[in-house]
Amino acid sequence: MHPLPEPRPAIRPLRGQLAAARVAIALLVVAGAMVIWQLALSDVDVLQVTDLGLASVLPASWYVAVGLLAAVFFNALFASRPNPLVMSVSLAAVILVLYGSTHFVEQEPHFLVTYRHAGIADFILHTGTVDPTLDAYFSWPGFFILSAFILRITGEASLLNFSDWAPVVLNALYVLCVLSIAKSLTGNTRVAWLAAWLFVVADWIGQDYYSPQGFNLFLYLAAVAIVLRAFHVASSASSGRPNLRWLPVGAIRRRAVALLETDAGDAQLAALSRNVRVALLAALVVLLAVSNASHQLTPFAFVAAFFALVLFERISLRGLPLIAVAVSAAWISFFAVGYWSGHLSDIVGGLGSLGSNVGQNVSGRIAGSPEHLLVLRMRILMTVAIWLLAGLGVIRRLRRGRADATLTLLAVAPFPLVAAQPYGGEMMLRVYLFALAPMAVLAALLYFPDVTQPVKVWNAGAAIISSLLLFAGFLFARYGNERVDYYTPDETAGIAAMYNLAPDGSLLYQVSAAPAQYKDYTKFQFMDIPNVVQDLQNDDAAAVVASMQQLAPASGAPSYLLVTRSQKAQVDMFSGLSAGSLDRLQIALERAPGLETVFKNGDTELFELAPTSGGSA
């Protein structure tokens, strides 16, 4: 029998103590940064936010806090032995700082649509039903059922009580998936953690608020992580050589096969046992079903990603796209009939209209005040930058003999969705979101093209510089709409007063949406004022009153007009009209015959259409 080696050589204790001291110092710096961050936020006056967004009011100490966290993270990342504890703590702190700051400087829940989503959850909580005739949300109600379930078990009255934490929680969950995806395909600590960092500073889209799409991105990334860990060819000992028989030209096929054979070449995945793979497949099907029940778009992203992976023989589970299609078809056929039977032209109308769809997604969104235009350009720059870094990563790895085919396929798979649907002008944003995780890993590989080699100084420097540049862009891109997205106590008090004053069935006119509908979802009918831009240009209160009289409910229910601070900010930022347009119209409305102010505070005014001049037209 051989003698057993000592597991801990004598030199280890000293090294261990030094390493522990370094970890302790790093964690102390993180704690210090968090203190500085909180002190910085106490100086922020969100009422002073300009059209440049939150960056316009953040003090220098806020940037100092972020700088310290970045220093700790990158110091750990580029150490001879990266420390996962330090990296995870510092990255968690960065997520909290980047995605949680608004919670500490704003007194009311953030972002308009959150209120509406809370209202849908409230409806389900109190009725225990879904009504697809009310809203498209009720044809994919899974997320709201989940929300109502959580509300009842926690005993909370409204999800607005914790909706502001959604971006922090969701981004932390996204990061777990990014780490797993990067690990499965590269097997390298630094690539995985740098990809996670890049994901965090590039997720400017803002779809991670309390929403079905934010939750579904997590499901999507979790499903992709399962597929790559359990069914990728790199983890399957039984996988054969790819043949790509569907490629018509032999030379192209041979070249493609050669490239695919270097895919995930650095990963060292231990094959999972059959029973674990079966269990993970079951979990995957559950995630697919849950996604189909809770969001209309994400299932198509699933199908696109799985189809691309199967087409290029990157996963052993060849029936996966069919499973995804079958689950989607089942949901649409049995639970979403109420929506698609009435909106078929909306759904398929954009199919193949690539130019029109792209136009709606890009040029159709470029409008507003000069400062807001700067923010919009920053967003385009951020998008191009992360795609460019990913592209350069692909090229640099190819030069090293590694084709990251799986990552590339996952990065490009969502793009055909743009040709299928404009999605209200938001499809490009969603495509960016679905592609962001693989793009971030590819971008990280740009700085570590040979994962088996030590880190080179210029690679590390380039990674830090580009990360900091992305961070600078993130602040403007992410929080550029902050002047519209925050709400004051006066605004929410005004909405609450409206709920008390207006009877059920009232018609509520608005220049743009207000943070209403967070409770009693069916209490009001909401309607935008027709020709509002023209009325704003001319300060034409009479035209507004005439429209209200013309559209007054036949039932005789009263009509109201709501004007809020955030609506004024929205007009200033997005409409292209001169600043203060809605202020001037508000003054004209106060003088207009036929309208009566029934509630007013600093940030809200509620007008009621006088009964004598209203009634059924």
Distance between CA atoms of residues 407 and 390, nearest Å:
10
Q: Are 115 and 515 in contact (CB under 8 A)?
A: yes
Distance between CA atoms of residues 188 and 179, nearest Å:
10
Structure tokens at 207: 């779809």
- Nearest distance from residue 203's CB to another protein, in Å? 16
DSSP symbol at 53: B
- Nearest distance from residue 263's CB to another protein, in Å? 8
Q: How far is CA 406 from the centre of its chain?
A: 23
Q: Which residues does 38 contact at the CB level (< 8 Å), separation at least 6?
A: 104
Q: How far is CA 479 from the centre of its chain?
A: 13
Distance between CA atoms of residues 393 and 482, nearest Å:
33
Q: How far is CA 509 from the centre of its chain?
A: 30
Count CA atoms closer than 13 A to 130's CA, side-chain side: 21
Q: What are phi and psi of 5, to 5 degrees?
A: -70, 150
- Nearest distance from residue 170's CB to another protein, in Å? 10
Pick the closest to residue 609 from 530, 553, 538, 537 (CA basis): 553
Contacts within 8 Å (CB) and 24+ apart, 243-250: 243/313, 244/312, 244/313, 246/311
Pick the closest to residue 146 from 197, 57, 211 (CA basis): 211
- Nearest distance from residue 240's CB to another protein, in Å? 6
Cβ closest to another protein, residue 234 vs residue 332: 234
Cβ closest to another protein, residue 116 vs residue 232: 232
- Nearest distance from residue 376's CB to another protein, in Å? 33
Cβ closest to another protein, residue 225 vs residue 532: 225
- Nearest distance from residue 523's CB to another protein, in Å? 21
Cβ closest to another protein, residue 70 vs residue 192: 192
DSSP symbol at 164: G
Structural element, H or E, at residue 589: helix 581-591
Indicate the burial class of 89 (C-beta count within 10 angstroms; 0-12, 13-18, 19 or more). Answer: buried
- Nearest distance from residue 1's CB to another protein, in Å? 5
Cβ closest to another protein, residue 409 vs residue 569: 409
**Residue 468 to residues 186, 200, 471, Cα–Cα distance (Å):** 24, 12, 5
- Nearest distance from residue 84's CB to another protein, in Å? 8
Cβ closest to another protein, residue 290 vs residue 585: 290
Q: How far is CA 329 from the centre of its chain?
A: 26
Q: H helices of 83-141, where?
A: 84-105, 112-127
Cβ closest to another protein, residue 522 vs residue 597: 522
- Nearest distance from residue 465's CB to another protein, in Å? 24
Cβ closest to another protein, residue 408 vs residue 510: 408
Structural element, H or E, at residue 238: none
Q: Which residues does 214 contact at the CB level (< 8 Å), separation at least 6?
A: 166, 167, 170, 207, 208
Cβ closest to another protein, residue 141 vs residue 594: 141
Cβ closest to another protein, residue 173 vs residue 529: 173
Cβ closest to another protein, residue 19 vs residue 577: 19
- Nearest distance from residue 356's CB to another protein, in Å? 36
Maximum Cα–Cα distance across the chain: 104
- Nearest distance from residue 163's CB to another protein, in Å? 14
